[in-house]
Structure 1
Amino acid sequence: MAVPRTRPSAYPAILSYGFRPFFLLGSLQAATAILLWLPLYYGKLETFSTFLPVDWHVHELLFGYLPAVVTGFLLTAIPNWTGRLPVQDFRLLVLVLLWVAGRVAVFLSAETGWLLGAAIDCSFLLAVVAAAATEIVAGRNWRNLKVLLPVATLFAANVMFHAEAHYQGVSDMSRRLGLGAVVVLVMIIGGRIVPSFTRNWLVREKPGRLSASFGRFDIGTIALSAVGLTAWSFFPDTITTGVLLIAAAAFNAVRLARWAGDRTLSDPLVLILHVAFAFVPLGLLLAGLAALAPANIPVVAGIHAFAVGAIACMTLAVMTRATLGHTGRELKASAGTCAVFVAILIAAVLRVAAAIAPAEAILLHMSAAFWIAAFAGYALLFGGLLMRPRLRARAVSPS
């Protein structure tokens, strides 16, 4: 995590680096979307959207919250990859306004028309891919162009989502494609940062067995997983899909075990990365079992293991670490940070349990409450840091 470099600016500090506005807005949107979801689910509240309540719920997390966090991460990581200055000030403001416009357009699409709402909403991810590709190409950092493939797939899935919801009345294939794209992104980015941060911490604090380095096993596992998730997107009920997903679950479990996570129990900032990634093989396993035996394992169990487990836990872990490091604070989890991690983990476990036992409505309600607590807690703990200039007196830890 290199020391961030920015050009002098008259803009507020929150527009000096991509992680600042997008992590804050993303966390607030994630908390608000679930706060509204249960009243929508029970018919106590209505949106002005052309989407059905369940589609609005799925869309605003998969294509609202997640693109915000992914954008914040990419715009912060790319300068480290390329050595270029970050996207900031007016260019960053344009992206932020596009994201906000997308949220408003989706919520009011019944008033503006579905096509205009879709065009405004989808323009954000298209702009992000263009901005990220421009920076990577300008920095001649060709090897990291592949990171944009899942992001471009997420954009395509968003376009499909709007069309599918309009012409068929409910989204189906597009939500699996979008979710699968983000899971692959977690495998790629997580496969870099989890073993890297773990290795750096172990070398400094606990010499001994280290994380395995990225290699052919990782490449093969990601490729197998991507094939399985693609099959799941388009053919979710076939035996072949089930077998591919279960095989991918086994390989990802082995991959995680190679990263020495059992040696990181004393550092919550490192440990949470391993726990979050553990939901990847769990989600693959549940999705595979649902394809083979849908009467025994509901499809939504795997979906929420991915969404609330792997993705929400990993994004909060990365958001916390990046916020601390890039604002000049010590990479150390406070009691409040630990509470945020515990809350999102409980939310994930309860949501998977609620999917398996849908008659127990209390599980769903408790999961929603812990989710809101986690994301609202992040906004409260770190919102001030995101809006204030970086501390210059303290160097950023290399881990």
Structure 2
Amino acid sequence: MNRSIRYFFSQPHQPFFALGILDALIFMPLFVVSFEGYLAANATLLHAYSMLFLVFGNFFYGFIYTTFPRFSAQPPIDARRYLRVWALQLLATLSFLVSLWLPFAFYAAVIFVAVAIALTLRIFLGIYRAAPEPKTDQYWIIVAFGMAGLSNLLFLLAQIPCTHCRAGVFFDYAVSVGVYLYLLFLPAVIAFRMVPLFSRVMAYRKSSWLHPALFGLLLLHVLVGAYLPRGLFAVDLTLALLLGREVLRIELPFPNRDPLLWGLHLALFWLPLGFLLGAMVEFFEAWFSYSSLQLPIHLLALGFLTTILVAFGTRVTLGHGGRALRVGRAGALLFALTQVVLLGRLALSVAAGMGHLSPWLELSAALWIALFLFWVGLYGKTLLVGSEE
């Protein structure tokens, strides 16, 4: 096997990050053309499923397969085990692409994703059992992947034809469980462990109730959103206060001259801020019939999630690629661009509230694509072949 190919598959973050970036560049344009009616596909399903399990899901695998054994003081995961999961994710991507024209292929994509999650849970449970105490973070990571499996199952149930089933309910729960109990909860668990460590804030000890309270409130968000939407803002306001208090307890050295740390800190600040601003939006949506085009979710998905994945992904790529953990002005521009992407999405919601989607939808998607292309231009070669320094 070619040396470059061997290197590419030798560490879990490389194939998973590469597949996640490819999916990010493929599915966002397809969502836009589908939303605008140029592609006869379910635009909502396309966007939700691809982002949950094919874009962010691959980034999660790349980072967690690298760090979970380290959290647990165990040896690295054998390449054959994580490459099986990567192959399943690749097959899921291909199947989901085909499903845009042949809808029955969606069932294959769901099955591939389900098997990938099941294999991951099996690997992580084995590591968890062998790990010395404490292993609280590992426990909640496993719970988050369990929620990913539940969300994936709900997506499947939502697509199965059934005369007496309320498919819309299954779909709403699939998205809500996937976004809040997997997409946001998992990186939050990682962030409260890794950001203080990377920032050398050694005095910080996270509150023992943080993860159970966070999971419980996110679960409450899912239930209140389904049964009492007018009270949803109160749940998110509580989340903002809880998370804001915990972030302030860390006493992060912010602002910081190191763009890599600056990006990590900015992402962590966005976690409570996203819930706070989201609570305000939800209040106006529930009580004044205002439509924000899912702005509360996107404040968190772009402000917190995308920013922290760009930061974590850059750090892992540089560190494991043999380069110094320095990003310079280009890195600073990269993190600034993540905030521009968020502003573009905010502009889309404001325009949608006034009945105008174009050209804001296209601009928002273009900024998303530009972010990933910029990252590839800066660090793509390191991801693929490592440092030549």
Answer whether TM exceeds 0.5 for this pair: yes
Shift of residue 282, structure 1, vs aligned partner? 2.8
Q: Which of 10, 13, 17 is equivalent to 1:16?
A: 10
Shift of residue 299, structure 1, vs aligned partner: 6.4
Which residue number in structure 2 is paired with residue 58 of structure 1? Answer: 48
The answer to whether the 8 A contact 2:92-2:108 is kept is no
Corresponding residue to 1:40 among 34, 39, 64? 34
Distance in structure 1 (CA, Å) of the matches to 2:202 and 2:251:
5
Moved more, 292-301 or 123-132: 292-301
The answer to whether structure 1 residue 263 and structure 2 residue 257 are counterparts is no
Classify 1:158/1:16 alpha carbon distance in 2 versus 1 (closer, same or farther; 3 Å): same
1:191 aligns with 2:183: no
Distance 2:305 2:4 in 1: 35
Aligned length: 368
Q: Residue 229 of structure 1: which of 215, 218, 226 is its match?
A: 218
Among 342, 349, 354, which residue is 1:348 paired with?
A: 342
What SS does the corresponding residue of 2:209 show, helix, strand or coil? helix
**Displacement over 6 Å in runs of 4+:** none
Shift of 1:212: 5.7
Letter in 2 for 1:366: L
Q: What is the one-letter code of the residue matched to 2:98?
A: L
In structure 1, what is the equivalent of residue 179 of structure 2?
A: 179
CA separation in 2, counterparts of 1:251 and 1:211? 21
The one of the two structures with greater contact order (alpha-carbon pairs below 8 A, sep at least 6) is: 1
- After superposing the two structures, state which structure 1 stretch, 30-39 or 168-177, moved more: 168-177
2:24, 2:55 within 8 Å by CA — same for their partners in 1?
Answer: yes
In the alignment, is residue 26 of structure 1 matched against residue 16 of structure 2? Answer: no
Give the match for residue 75 of structure 1.
65
User: Aligned-pair distance for 1:70?
Assistant: 1.0
How has the CA–CA distance of structure 1 residues 113 and 322 changed in structure 2, closer, same or farther, with 3 Å as cutoff? closer
Aligned residue among 383, 387, 394 for 2:384: 387
Alpha-carbon distance in structure 2 between the residues aligned to 1:54 and 1:299: 11
Structure 2 SS opposite 1:226? helix
Q: Which residue of 2 aligns with 1:333?
A: 327
Residue type of the partner of 1:124? A
Give me the whole-angstrom Cα distance separating, in 1, the residues matched to 2:30 and 2:108. 24
What CA deviation, in whole Å up to 9, does each residue of 1:245-286 have, x standing for no partner? 201112222322333446343111001112112222233224
Matches within 5 A, 1:1-399: 12-46=6-40, 52-109=42-99, 110=102, 112-140=104-132, 142-143=135-136, 144-167=138-161, 168=166, 171-181=171-181, 182-198=183-199, 200=200, 213-216=204-207, 219-236=208-225, 237-261=228-252, 263-294=254-285, 295-296=289-290, 298=292, 300-358=294-352, 359-361=355-357, 362-389=359-386
Residues in 1 aligned to 2:202 and 2:27: alpha-carbon distance in whole angstroms = 37
Distance 2:103 2:245 in 1: 50
Q: Structure 1's 224 and 71: CA in aligned 2 closer, same or farther, altered over 3 A?
A: same
Residue identity matched to 2:12: G
Question: What are the Cα deviations for residues 291-330 of structure 1, in whole angstroms up to 9, with x where unaligned?
Answer: 4432246361101112122111111111001111112211
Q: Please give the alpha-carbon distance, in whole angstroms, between the structure 2 residues aligned to 1:211 and 1:249.
A: 24
- Quote the Cα distance in structure 2 between the aligned partners of 1:244 and 1:387: 43
Matched residues in 1 for 2:203 and 2:281: separation?
32
CA distance change for structure 1 residues 89 and 187 in 2, over 3 Å: closer, same or farther? closer
Distance 1:89 1:222 in 2: 30
SS in 2 for 1:85: coil
Alpha-carbon offset, residue 290 of structure 1: 4.5
- Name the CA shift for 1:22/1:301 in 2 (closer, same or farther; >3 Å): same
Q: Percent identity?
A: 21
1:165 is displaced (CA, Å) by: 3.9
- Whether contact under 8 Å (1:39, 1:45) holds in the other structure is yes
| TM-aligned CA distance change 1:223 to 1:82, over 3 Å | closer
Distance in 2 between the 1:332 and 1:27 partners? 22
Offset from partner CA, 1:90-130 (integer Å, 9 cap, x none): 32321111001111222223354543342123222222222
What secondary structure, in the 3-state scheme, does the structure 2 residue paired with 1:245 have?
helix
Whichever residue aligns with residue 221 of structure 2, its letter is W
C-alpha distance in 2, partners of 1:242/1:345?
24
- Which blocks of at least 5 consecutive residues in structure 2 are unaligned? none
Q: Partner of 1:6 in structure 2?
A: none
User: Is the partner of 2:145 in helix, strand or coil?
Assistant: helix
The TM-score, its normalising length taken from structure 2, stands at 0.85
Contact conserved, 2:73 with 2:132, CA < 8 A, in 1? no
User: Distance between the aligned counterparts of 2:332 and 2:4, measured in 1?
Assistant: 35
Q: Which runs of 5+ in 1 are unaligned?
A: 1-8, 201-209, 394-399
Q: Is the 8 A contact 1:105 1:112 kept in 2?
A: no
CA distance in 1, matches of 2:331, 2:197: 21
Partner Cα separation in structure 2 for residue 220 and residue 81 of structure 1: 19
Partners of 2:16 and 2:62 within 8 A in 1 = yes
CA spacing shift, 1:33–1:21, aligned 2, 3 Å: same
* Cα distance between partner residues in 2 of 1:29 and 1:390: 25
CA contact (8 A) 1:245 1:287 kept: yes
Tell which deviates more after alignment, 161-170 or 228-237.
161-170
1:13 Cα deviation (Å)? Answer: 0.8
1:19 and 1:350 map into 2 onto residues whose CA distance is 29
